[in-house]
Structure 1
């Protein structure tokens, strides 16, 4: 009798394994929630010395994106000491507050610390920084990358950057560097950030057609920067349309912690045919 019960138990176990595998095959691909935000180094642009750290932390905890890119991030600078009464590693502290894995990609030395890009991912590895070219001079620029993993174990690369605000020559060279690098990656790619060009610019038009920009695909031309006559759309989420499809896009223009607004998209990874 004991042998029969054990035998039946094993059959039931293998049946359950088969059922779980079949269910996983039928389940839709997981949606990827993305947020990018130029945070004005974590200080209210209208009130000098007023920290926005906890407002940014609360925004991320409330919305729970899988991946986050932040621009204009300070790390251990004198400026952060003036705001927080101590030199602050902004990304490390933000990761502690939110439960994400954080990474700081330094673009340049600044006030005894660093200044550049921040990334957060719920699950990620292979964090690294790609220096970007500056043929016309000006501030150094960089792009931070992570290989992120979804609950379904699918992986993708996510990059965040802040392109040159002064020279179109620099922005074009930086774009060429980003796109060339993206083509070498062995997983689907999403890249985002404050790119300092508008949708009617030569830089925008130069991006190959398989890269889709979430705002344009959604038909949403809302400004991402400034107010009134100074408002414009210069913050973007780009994705490889061969690998992803757009589910949702919005500008969080009720969030006034910076001179930019956060932008948000939800993408779905396409099933391999």
Structure 2
């Protein structure tokens, strides 16, 4: 029996639709949030904590991975805000249901000060101490090996680079990049980098790294006012492994920085 050509074409069309839908469903997206939280204190109301508001924002946005900067752990400063010493990442983990990790960059106020990660699910965490060729305040990067629902693994790092010396920022960018290259996994890194897009440190970031907030994305300050602030908070990704889906700077006033929300798709 000869099958009409119209039915053959319809069959091939439906197969094409099915394979396209499978390709779309099998591709994985990762939502990243980077936020300098000003040690969990409302910058406009000294002594007033805001971890519950930050946790509510995270619960609303549902990012897979969160990089936080200016994080206190068991400091007298946190006691002055919350009435007792607090591990901010542990508290945020309890409030959100995420897994939290604190990477201490330095001793501070009888406790620690550094970077934090929140992960939806579990991960393998590590702290990388960053170089200080120009001296100044110690800095660190918090790393996690994160397993996606498909079983594929990626690397994610959150950091806060030196605010004093360009020499340090350049060396710290290089250290993070070398660590990512050594790991040989698709990598994303984010944080308050204390550098502007026209700086030497920014231009030192080479290779396949892509700034999620670069052109043609409209310029959006991440620090200061929305009218004349600076863009110093970033999400960088390996453009050979990921595609940018969405980039947003959220006009949220829980800190002196704005949160940066990025959605990526694993190639």
TM-score, normalized by length of structure 2?
A: 0.89
Q: 2:263 aligns with which of 261, 266, 269?
A: 266
Distance 2:131 2:55 in 1: 32
CA contact (8 A) 1:224 1:260 kept: yes
Q: 1:103 aligns with which of 97, 101, 104?
A: 101
Distance 1:222 1:27 in 2: 31
Q: 2:175 aligns with which of 166, 174, 177?
A: 177
3-state secondary structure, aligned to 1:197: coil
- Displaced runs of 4 or more, over 2 A: 23-28
Q: How does 1:39-118 map to 2 (within 5 A)?
A: 39-118=37-116
Q: 2:125 aligns with which of 127, 146, 154?
A: 127
Q: Indicate the RMSD between aligned Cα atoms, in angstroms.
A: 1.5
Unaligned regions of 5+ residues in structure 2, if any?
1-20
CA shift digits 1:161-187 (9 cap, x unpaired): 000000001111111111111100131
Which piece of structure 1 moves more, 87-96 or 213-222?
213-222
Distance 2:185 2:72 in 1: 30
3-state secondary structure, aligned to 2:213: helix
CA shift digits 1:228-253 (9 cap, x unpaired): 77610000000000000000000002
State the Cα distance separating 1:31 from its structure 2 match: 0.9
Q: 1:236 to 1:26 in 2, by over 3 A?
A: closer
Unaligned regions of 5+ residues in structure 1, if any?
1-22
Match status 1:202 vs 2:174 = no
3-state secondary structure, aligned to 1:220: coil
Distance 1:26 1:249 in 2: 20
CA shift digits 1:37-89 (9 cap, x unpaired): 00000001111101111010000000100000000000000000000001001
CA contact (8 A) 2:143 2:155 kept: yes
TM-score, normalized by length of structure 1?
A: 0.87
Q: 1:76 to 1:64 in 2, by over 3 A?
A: same
Name 1:215's counterpart in structure 2: 213
Name 1:18's counterpart in structure 2: none
CA contact (8 A) 1:220 1:250 kept: no
